[in-house]
Amino acid sequence: MNYTMRSSVLAILVASFGGIASAESLTFKEVRKILPKGSRVVAELPDTSFLDEKQQAIVLSLKDTIPFYGALALTADEGLFVDWLSASGQHHSLDAARTAALDYCNANRKAESAGCVVVLEVSPKGHDADAILSLSADATDTFRKEYRKLGSPKAFAISKSQGTFGFAGGDGARALDACAKAGEGASDCTVVVAD
């Protein structure tokens, strides 16, 4: 999902992109050990050298409005206060969030402006960059609360390109179908958990 700020006012736009999926599906118990505990987030400011202290504080304050995995990209020539400002959230990985934020920024900046850079990254506390699987905030919550209650057999699928997900009892085909429907026709859904 993209989160749009206009002159420091946050409005929500819907759009989703990318994620991570392992080549083979994992079990609920394996994934439960991999996912960060809780819903607290941490924020990184990788490149804010062109923003003054007040603007950096504004960017950092946005961390609580962007669900993990999320990112915000800006161009140094246009700064923080542009009418197209958008943060990308609800991705299954930080890489996918960065890519979505950069793509959005580069598509909306003025042609003569410098290229976009990521100025904010939002991830869950305890995030392991080397983990075999990561899930968005909504997918993590659904996995912990709803998926775990289903009887076996069951499966959980995610879309790398849209950041959507789906789960269902039965074989993986039902989870893939739920994922595709959640992503309005996502064609890259992959089963990442099967029990």
Taking only the tens place, the pLDDT of each residue in 138-181 is 999 999 999 999 999 999 999 977 889 999 998 899 999 999 99
Task: Report if residue 133 sits inside a domain.
Answer: no
- Is 96's pLDDT higher than 50? yes
Rounded-to-integer distance, Cα 11 and Cα 104, Å = 16
Mean pLDDT of 41-45: 90
In the DSSP assignment, the letter for residue 93 is S
Is residue 82 one of the residues assigned to a domain?
yes
Extract the tokens encoding 185. 């026709």
**What confidence score (pLDDT) does residue 21 get?**
34
Is 143 in a helix, a strand, or coil? helix
Asked if residue 143 is part of any domain, the answer here is: no
pLDDT at residue 16 above 60? Answer: no
Q: How confident is the model at residue 15 (pLDDT cuts 50, 70, 90)?
A: very low
Element (H, E) at 165: strand 165-169
Q: Is residue 95 one of the residues assigned to a domain?
A: yes
**pLDDT reading at 131 higher than 50:** yes
The residue range of the domain holding 82 is: 2-19+38-124
Mean pLDDT of the chain: 84
Is pLDDT at 80 greater than 70 in this prediction? yes
Question: Is there a contact between 130 and 22 (Cβ–Cβ < 8 Å)?
Answer: no
Least confident of 52-61, 115-124, 159-168: 159-168
Residue 70 placed within a domain: yes
Residue 166 in domain: no
Q: How many whole angstroms separate alpha carbon 157 and alpha carbon 82? A: 36
146 within domain boundaries: no
Residue 67 lies in a domain: yes
Three-state secondary structure call for residue 74: strand
Structure-block tokens of residue 148: 């775990």
**CA 195 – CA 188 distance, rounded (Å):** 21
d(CA 13, CA 27): 33
Looking at the structure of the chain, the number of domains it has is: 1
Helix segments in 44-192, DSSP class H: 53-61, 94-108, 137-145, 172-182
